[in-house]
Amino acid sequence: MCNSFNQKFLDEAAKNMQDENFNDNNSHSVFMQNAVDHAIEGMDKNDGGPFGCVIVKDDKIIGKGNNRVTSNNDPTAHAEVTAIRDACKNLNSFQLEGCVIYTSCEPCPMCLGAIYWARPEKVFFGSNKKDAANIGFDDDFIYKELPLPYDKRSIPFEQLDRDYALKPFKLWEEKENKTKY
């Protein structure tokens, strides 16, 4: 009697746990599919390339975006950057604390940087950078540029007037009413 009760209790607990996992995975998929839908909608409207992104906090979408590079004449208007701007505006914050990013494709180096600055909790991505390269969106060359010496990059970098450029840093250090981040 006692054993069968325990077994029933354990079975139910196991079932609930499975349901919770199922719901959890299911809601991740709902958000990912939403990001993918933004990619398709944006592309159909000729906003830009086939990329979409949503940002979620407490199970609610608080920011969304799709690629708008060609329509906005903005090379930085990638889906993730657009969504981060939208989410931060809606949260009235410069950080994405406790947020999860769902992006239809693995972020490029620019968006990766933006994501690190925004400090979300986690990132889910759909397709990967190899899939993107296969349809002509190859960002691998940027990764290869990063470790190159300044003068060996395809866009040469050269340092100029360092002493003068250090002036704002000195002033920042001394500044009292600053918002650190």
Q: Catalytic positions, please? A: 80
Shortest Å distance, C-beta 68 to Zn ion = 12
Question: Residue 17 or residue 135: which is nearer to Zn ion going by CB?
Answer: 135
Which among 95, 92, 87 has a CA at the least distance from the CA of 116? Answer: 95
Instruction: Tell me if residue 47 falls in helix, strand or coil.
Output: coil
Residues ≥6 apart with Cβ < 8 Å to 143: 109
**Binding-site ranges for Zn ion (CB under 5 A):** 78, 108, 110-111
Question: Residue 32 or residue 108: which is nearer to Zn ion going by CB?
Answer: 108
User: Mind spelling out the 3-state secondary structure of 7-36?
Assistant: HHHHHHHHHHHHHHHHHHHHHHHHHHHHHH
Tell me the DSSP string of 72-110.
HT-TT--HHHHHHHHHHHHHTSSS-TTEEEEEEEPPPHH
Shortest Å distance, C-beta 111 to Zn ion = 3
Q: What b-and-e string marks burial along 48-60, b requiring 16 or more CB atoms within 10 Å of the CB?
A: bbbbbbbbbbeee
Shortest Å distance, C-beta 53 to Zn ion = 9
Residue type, 100: V
Shortest Å distance, C-beta 21 to Zn ion = 31
Strand partners, 54: 64, 102
